[in-house]
Structures are given as structure tokens and as C-alpha cells.
Structure 1
């Protein structure tokens, strides 16, 4: 080992820093792992006084490339320890995937905290859903007395100014929590103008990333992986493709009893009108724009649907080993004032019902029946 190599190793052992993009501790020994940066690049950027971000964040920021995934167990252990240190919490969830991202089990852990609720991605909802209508619906669903609820969209900056203004009045520190891909980092970049890495990939934040607004320190925590959302079954690249990036698509169905409807490749349903099976039910499916719908009564297609993955049926986005999944069948009756929500994927609004849905989908994916968000036009009181 040369003297220069010895000096470098000493520097590596003593110098501690974190990537400002994702919060991971900078390291030089394990390529592909969070926080890695080639030491020569680190040393050069340090001498030049340039921003030092890990290789993972650099590739995300400049090329949209995802190079490593965070360890889920480590993240949960980390979060449980961190949560004890914060009195104030900002809980961010995705309004399109409410059931998948607003988690009662997490809310239970926050009973002793002061919680601000941020309902993000408002732009993904149909334009017929107004903010006041959504807020009344959320108040019932959240069911927390005097809950502070902010409705936001970083895409069109809806609600961002109000959230920023109210946070600027606070002092001390606040922890930001949320399930993967609810847009926590995007919100913080919008209100703090920081250099945090923002990407459509899950698990981008893998440590606490500190921001500041006024006299308030804001700490962004890693996204929580819950394991019961359809989107989590796909690889990170596919997830980024099918995430709702704008107003979701809506398709109306009026199927015959013998027809099967595929939503992507891993969810299929049959539907009948309960009062009279000679009449056809009517319902609308809301899903991200890159999720494909396919209605058929072709037995060959139904029995060999995996051949169409990545083509007629998306997601999956390409080849996918369907044999690794266990599937379940559920029969659920949904009335006209209700919706069927498939966690991390889509929701179905009934127009003529009740409708009995026969669903086939992966075993771990949760399905919910909820009060309909899409209601006939009516007056809403301002809140």
C-alpha cells in the first residue's frame, strides 16, 4: 500500500457524511448499495467544493436510473427508533390510493404525536372531484378529531403555498412519514427548494434527510413498505411506469355475465347485477393511465393470460413469473353508494347496482369496500 493509499484509507475511516439526496451514509466499499460513491469521485468533488451525492442519487437525478433497493426490515427498525424522538409528525398519503397509503396501523403508533395529514396527488383524481368534496370525504375516513388536513399536488402546486406558509409558523422539528411513493420528497422539494433526490421509484429515501423552512427542521424518513398493495408486486422500473402521474383514466363497463374483465394481468373480475341477472351492471374503473383494461369471453385468452403480460395486459411491464404468486378468489357485493378499492392499483365506482363482483387477484393484495368518492353532483359545505 502506498502512502497515498494509506492517506485515503485514513480519510475514509474518519470522514463521515450523508448524501443530501437520500440520507444514506456515504460509503466507498460496496457498489450498488445505498450511499456508494467511488472514492476518487468523492475526493475530486470535495476539493472542487461541489455537491456530493451518492452514485444512486446521481443516476436517479441525471439519468432516471434506479441502482439499488433499500432493505425493508432495516427501514422499519430504523423508523420505530426514530419515531420515539419526534413529537410532531407530518403523515403524507396518496389520495388516489387512499386505502393502500393511509394506514390505520401506522396511525395507531402516532396517538401521542401532533399529526398533520397531507393528502397528496390531488391532480390524479377526476376533475369532477372538488377539494371541498374530497376534504369532507377524508374527514370521515381519517376519523381523527380536529384533524389538520392539507390537500396538495406538487404537479400543479395545489395547496403547496398554504402548507408552506403554515409550516413556516412552526418551530422545533417535525418527522415526515408515508408509504413508498406517496410523494413525500416531492412535497419537501417544493416547499424547501432543497436538492433532495425526487424520483418515481420506491424507497428513494433510505435515511433521515434534513430540510429547513423558517425555524422548523423537517426530517424526511424512508418510505414504508406495507406489502399488500398491487404495485409492490412489480419491479421498481415497472412501478415507476404505472404510477399515476396525471389524472387517472376512467372506463365504463356494462358487461354480460359470461364476460371477464382484466385490469392489468394480475386482476380479473366477473360482475353481475344482483337484483336481476338478466340486466347488465354498470360501473366505472379508475386506474393510472398505463394500466390496461381488457374485456373478453375468449376461454383461450382467459386460461393463458400470462402470454399477454407486457402487451395487452400491463402491468406486468414485461415477462413475469406468475407461478411465484398465490391467488385468491373473492365475492363482494358493492352498492351504488359504494366503491371497490384494490390497494395500490385501482378503484371501481358502481353506477347501476348492487353488483356482485367475483375477483381473482394475488393473495396478499387487500380489497376494500368504501363510501363512494364519486358521487352525483350535489352541494358541499365549505370547510
Structure 2
């Protein structure tokens, strides 16, 4: 027995949501979250045997994302995402706060406690498999805990993992098992593209044996509203939209070049010996003048396809203006080619990290002058590795 037209209409009036992004289905405004052609939507619903049947349906945006790797812009701004996160502060909940171990500064949420109140935090460092194999989990966990403390975040526990690995769901559940029964809601929060939905898909697989049900992609801004997944009879896990950080490098380049920013395998670090008067070009994304008076040593951690070109400071500006997009690839979009210039000094055992791109570890103290797109975030921190 299939549903009648009245039952289908009632379901639509009650509101049903896309299993991929959590947006409520609608058929009136294409380009707005939850859009699906009315004929397709009604046809699917009418094929159900009961109004209580699970609705495993994707909106047009999620369908294209899942099957064709195509992302479409949506009519939500960061204020919408922030309002969703702010509601956490009114609840008694556990917060799983995901950060990207390859982009820690760029993936931290400024003023997190503003959104989550006094709720306890388990800090989850994702993409551990991207770091060199010689790095130990406990060392990274200790370093990450200190970085969070510097941001005013006190954590119950720090967990380091790789969300796209098959045992990550089981591993995380074991690590937080002492806290699960204390809370009815466990919120997963983080910036876009940090791996929240990937991790929750692994949790779903662990507790139910089902495959991925939440849309994931290499593009920022996939989950548009809260998605709730039962964990136990008492507790549910809630995936939230990512806060969009427009100060990450991904917002300064063409989407076809995202592959240069998002490593999917171990990053091969390279150590450079730099003499006085040398500059390093970060492909066509900008460059750094090294103002040291003697030879220094730095180690570079960037996606393996990013080419670092060495040159002379006096020729740097001319080379960049003539070769960005040619010899120097990938490059920033034309509207960001006018670079900001700033001079800072790094100490030995400090990182100069560029949001959404990578970092240099300084083994000797040295002043530098960087030339990067205006608005791109950077940070100076104790060495991560």
C-alpha cells in the first residue's frame, strides 16, 4: 500500500528534511537549501508504504554533491550558522570540538564559549594521518590541549584521530565512553571542511552497520542545519553546520585548485637552508622574504603538490607579478593579487602558519616579511611537530 495524495501533503506540511544536509525540503526556490523538484518529491513520498517509513531522500544540492562532486552556493550566511551554534549554550550537553591538525589556527572557532556556554568540551584533532608518521599521538594531543588553553578553552579530554579511517568511530566512542551516559545531546562543532560529517558517518557505521548517510565533500559548507543521530536510548549525536572562516586560503583561490590545499595523504616535510636575501614563493599564492643576516634552517609543511620556489628578495615582486598563474601555480584569484606586506620576527622552535595552507617551522630565530592576500589569517605558535 502506498501513500495517498493527502498523506503526502500532510508530510510536506509537517516538514521533512534532506538526509544529506538536514535542510527542510521545499520546491519553490531553487538555489535555496532543501530544494527538490515537486514532482520528484511527491513521487518519492507517494511510493512509501507508511507515513512512519524512514525518508532516505537527498535534496538537489546534496544529490549533485554526492554523485557529481558539484557544489552549489546556498542562501545562508555565517549568522545563520552562528545562531544554530549559540542555541547550545542553553542546553546541558557535551561538545565534540573538531579541529584540523593540518590547519589548527585556521580551524579554531574564535570565541567558542560564546556559542556553547559552560558546556564541557572534548577536543578532537582530526587528520592525524596527514602528519609525518614519526609524529606521536600523545605529543600532538598535549600540544593541541595547550593551543586550546591559549584560546581560553578548557577541555575534558583531547582525542587525536583520522575521521576517514574505518576504526575512527569506534575509537572516538571508546574515548568518550565515560561521558556518554551523562548527556542527552552530544554536539559536534567545527569550521567548514574539518571532517565533522565524515566522523559522524563513521559513528553511524559503528553503531548500526549502515554506510554513509551524511553528505561529505571537499567543499566548504555542506551541512546546512542540525542533523540528529540516535547513539543510545538516551543520547543522540548532533552534527551542526560548519562556521565559515573566510580568512582561510580556500576563499582566495578557484575551487579547481582546492586539491593543493587539502592533503589526502601524509605530507612530506622538507627542510630548507636559507641564506641572507632569499625569498620563498608559495606557488602563486604569495611569498616570504627571509631577512636573516646568516644562514638559517626552516622546515616546510605543505600539501605535496605545492611547489616552493626559491628566489632573491630584490627580484621577488617582479617575478610574482609576471609569473603568478604561469610558472607560479596555483595562484590566488585576480581580485586578491594585490598582496599585504608585513614584517614579523620568529623565534627558534616556532611555526609561521598560514590558514588553510600549511606552515614553516623555524629552527633558528629570524625576521621575515610576508606578502600574502589581504584578509588571509596567519599565526605564530610553538612548533606543532
TM-score, scaled to structure 2: 0.84
| Partner of residue 208, structure 1 | 226
- Which segment is superposed worse, 295-304 or 21-30? 295-304
Decide whether aligned partners of structure 1 residues 200 and 146 sit closer, same or farther in structure 2, where only a CA change above 3 A counts: closer
Partner-residue secondary structure (3-state), 1:32 = coil
How many Å separate the matches in 2 of 1:347 and 1:365?
Answer: 14
Per mean C-alpha deviation after superposition, the further-off stretch among 336-345 and 249-258 is 249-258
Choose the corresponding residue for 1:106, options 112, 119, 123: 112
> What RMSD, in angstroms, separates the aligned Cα atoms of the two structures?
2.8
The residue correspondences of 1:78-97 to structure 2 (distance < 5 A) are: 78-85=84-91, 87-97=93-103
Match of 2:199 among 187, 190, 195: 187
- By how many angstroms is 1:268 displaced? 0.6
What's the counterpart of residue 367 of structure 2?
Answer: 356
Aligned residue number for residue 217 of structure 2: 199
- Name which of 45, 52, 60 aligns with 1:55: 60
Distance 1:371 1:33, change over 3 A: same
Helix, strand or coil: the match of 1:296?
A: strand
Are 1:165 and 2:174 counterparts?
A: yes
Residue of structure 1 aligned with 2:295, choices 252, 262, 280: 280
1:297 to 284, 290, 312: 312
Deviation at 1:259, TM superposition (A): 3.0
Separation in structure 2 between the aligned mates of residue 127 and residue 264 of structure 1, nearest angstrom: 25
CA displacement 1:183-223 (0-9 Å, x = unmatched): 00000001113511111110000101111222321111110
CA distance in 2, matches of 1:139, 1:10: 51
Indicate the residue corresponding to 1:370 in structure 2: 381
Change (3 A) 1:127 1:108: farther
TM-superposed deviation, 1:134: 0.8
What's the counterpart of residue 43 of structure 1?
Answer: 42
Alignment-derived partner of residue 265 in structure 1: 284
TM-score, normalised via structure 1 length: 0.84
Q: Secondary structure at the match of 2:82?
A: helix
The number of equivalent residue pairs is: 361
- 1:13-162 aligned at under 5 Å gives the runs 14-49=13-48, 51-69=56-74, 70-85=76-91, 87-143=93-149, 144-145=153-154, 147-157=156-166, 159-162=168-171
| Aligned twin of 2:275 | 256
Change (3 A) 1:79 1:358: same
Supply the distance in 2 between the matched residues of 1:162 and 1:9 (Cα, whole angstroms): 41
**Offset, 1:181:** 0.8
Shift of 1:309: 4.4
Residues 94-103 or 298-307, more deviating: 298-307
**Cα distance in 1 for residues equivalent to 2:223 and 2:84:** 12
**Contact 1:152/1:160, CA 8 A, preserved across alignment:** no
Q: Residues 105, 38 of structure 1: CA spacing in aligned structure 2 closer, same or farther, 3 A cutoff? A: same
Give the Å deviation of 1:122.
0.6
Offset of residue 348 of structure 1: 0.5
Distance 1:150 1:298, change over 3 A: closer
1:109 Cα deviation from its structure 2 partner: 4.0
**Judging changes above 3 Å, is the alpha-carbon distance between structure 1 residues 51 and 158 closer, same or farther for their aligned structure 2 residues?**
closer
Cα deviation 1:38-65 (Å, max 9, x = unaligned)? 1111122223347211011111111111
SS state of the match for residue 106, structure 2? Answer: helix
Given that residues 180 and 203 in structure 1 are in contact (C-alpha distance below 8 angstroms), is that contact kept between their aligned partners in structure 2?
yes
